């Protein structure tokens, strides 16, 4: 089997038939990582993609051997049996470091698994290791990692998107068949678009956040990356469902996401928000989205223009709420309980408050510091009502926009990025320009709806383009059906 062409179904079928073994597949993937991923730790050498921060070889091979024993006995295999999966480094895995790509958590080894990790392994997944990301999931290019930037496998001089750049790059490069990422304001969907893979943002509460290192708790979500829509649906089916360890997880029944793909899209009403097609949208991306819409029309969908009038307020609203929550969440990193602690001494921390200051100064990167400062400011006395409370009110208006739209349409199709992937280092000196790259992704995050990115073509220079598909709360089935129709039209 060609590594880059493996799917969840093909891996599972090959193991069940005895054509190959889960152990052999895992070793092949580790071989490719060693050859191509780059000097990112654990003795990795290669091209310098830098997607993996640490490998969990012992755990992965023990799981692979277990799957092989089950297959040899003819036992029923789980939906992810033998499938190599990578885990974003903001999720905890017992026995593996969880740094959130930050120096402040260097050396931290969590004593427990995130619920998403537990569910993947219970379904038979072989967990290869931890994946690079922007520090504490704060970024749109994966250049904010304390352990070096991730390169886009489709163009090594380009960014892979962020914050889940390592998760997208690992799947695009064939280092893993699927991966886990997190999305706070676009961090699954944007890198999926930039790397030419599928990325899913489930409805808030659909997938447990237990074991996710928090950035902004009312926005953070866990979701899968895969090479195709069917694999993404399979991954989501494993991940979804209520978790007693996460009070924000929903008790709504989980749909049959793979089964839903069998239903035709004929007759579905597709909304196209006019606000997403204004100034600043790259011409080649606009043309690719239009072609995707033509494909949906050809499949029998009704395509109509809709209005999401408060979209223009989404970026400032997001960067008030997300930074405020980050300021509160990251206060726990003080050098006392885990991770980095500033050394005492003549030039070090002499008092407790000095140790806090020195630890945070040494441990947090520039972007994380910037967002903590912004968040602390908007929560401070005299500014709370003017910024944070007002942002929450606008968030309600944005949510109402989507609720009104979904009363008229079954899904919404729009761009996910205003531009193709840019060159490494091109935007690092201009944080505002970087924030504006989230212009099409943050509204769905604020509203809590489900959304995903699906490949829909390439630029003239061969850079991937993704289209965003948004669905109403807990209607992942319809969203995935539309995504499959877009994917099928590309074939």
Contacts of 205 (CB under 8 A, 6+ apart): 248, 249, 250, 252, 448
Q: How far apart are CA 54 and CA 192, in angstroms?
A: 22
Closest CA relative to residue 229, chosen from 491, 11, 488: 488
Q: How far apart are CA 396 and CA 164, in angstroms?
A: 27
- Select which of 40, 51, 56, 88 is catalytic: 88
Locate 235 and state its tokens: 């991954």
Contacts of 431 (CB under 8 A, 6+ apart): 367, 370
Query: Where do we find the tokens 């959304």?
Result: 451
- Select which of 96, 140, 187, 445 is catalytic: 187
Note if 102 is an active site residue: no
Contacts of 18 (CB under 8 A, 6+ apart): 71
- Select which of 40, 51, 163, 445 is catalytic: 163
Locate 486 and state its tokens: 């877009």
Note if 163 is an active site residue: yes
Residue 140 and residue 189 in contact, taking contact as beta carbons nearer than 8 Å: no
Locate 491 and state its tokens: 């074939």
- Judged by DSSP in three states, 238 sits in helix
> Distance between terminal CA atoms of the chain?
21
Instruction: Give just the sign of the alpha carbon dihedral 301, 186, 147, 131.
Output: negative
The DSSP output letter for 142 is S
Indicate the length of the chain as a whole number: 491
Locate 368 and state its tokens: 């994380």
Contacts of 11 (CB under 8 A, 6+ apart): 1, 25, 81, 82, 83, 84, 177
Note if 88 is an active site residue: yes
- Which residue numbers are catalytic? 88, 163, 187
């Amino acid at each position: 089997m060609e590594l880059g062409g493996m799917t969840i179904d093909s891996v599972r079928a090959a193991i069940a038939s005895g054509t190959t073994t889960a152990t052999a597949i895992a070793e092949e993937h580790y071989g490719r990582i060693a050859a191509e991923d780059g000097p990112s730790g654990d003795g990795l050498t290669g091209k310098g993609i830098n997607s993996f921060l640490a490998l969990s070889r012992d755990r992965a091979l023990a799981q692979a051997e277990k799957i092989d024993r089950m297959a040899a006995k003819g036992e029923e295999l789980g939906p992810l049996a033998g499938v190599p999966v990578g885990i974003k480094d903001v999720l905890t895995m017992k026995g593996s470091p969880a740094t959130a790509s930050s120096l402040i958590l260097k050396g931290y080894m969590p004593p427990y698994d995130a619920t998403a990790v537990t569910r993947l392994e219970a379904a038979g997944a072989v967990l290869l290791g931890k994946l690079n990301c922007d520090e504490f999931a704060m970024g749109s290019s994966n250049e904010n990692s304390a352990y070096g930037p991730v390169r886009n496998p489709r163009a090594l001089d380009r960014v892979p998107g962020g914050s889940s750049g390592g998760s997208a790059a690992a799947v695009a490069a064939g280092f893993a068949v699927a991966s886990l990422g997190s999305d706070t304001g676009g961090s699954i969907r944007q890198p999926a678009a930039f790397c030419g893979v599928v990325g899913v943002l489930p409805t808030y509460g659909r997938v447990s956040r237990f074991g996710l290192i928090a950035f902004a708790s009312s926005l953070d979500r866990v979701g899968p990356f895969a090479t195709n829509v069917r694999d993404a649906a399979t991954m989501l089916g494993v991940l979804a469902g209520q978790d007693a360890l996460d009070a924000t997880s929903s008790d709504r029944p989980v749909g049959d996401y793979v089964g839903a793909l069998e239903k035709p899209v004929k007759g579905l009403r597709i909304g196209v928000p006019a606000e997403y097609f204004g100034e600043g949208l790259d011409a080649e991306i606009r043309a690719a989205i239009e072609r995707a819409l033509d494909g949906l029309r050809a499949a029998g969908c009704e395509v109509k223009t809709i209005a999401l009038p408060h979209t223009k307020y989404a970026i400032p609203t997001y960067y008030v709420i997300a930074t405020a929550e980050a300021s509160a969440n990251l206060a726990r990193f003080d050098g006392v309980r885990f991770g980095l602690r500033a050394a005492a001494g003549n030039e070090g921390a002499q008092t407790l408050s000095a140790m806090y200051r020195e630890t945070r100064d040494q441990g947090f990167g520039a972007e994380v510091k910037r967002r903590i400062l912004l968040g602390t400011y908007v929560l401070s006395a005299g500014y709370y009502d003017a910024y944070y409370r007002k942002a929450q009110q606008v968030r309600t208006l944005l949510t109402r926009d989507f609720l009104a739209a979904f009363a008229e349409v079954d899904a919404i199709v729009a761009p996910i990025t205003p531009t193709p992937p840019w060159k490494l280092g091109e935007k690092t000196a201009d944080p505002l320009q970087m924030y504006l790259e989230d212009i099409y992704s943050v509204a769905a995050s604020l509203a809590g709806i489900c959304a995903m990115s699906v490949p829909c073509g390439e630029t003239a220079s061969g850079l991937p383009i993704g289209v965003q598909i948004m669905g109403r709360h807990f209607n992942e089935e319809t969203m995935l059906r539309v995504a499959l129709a877009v994917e099928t039209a590309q074939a």
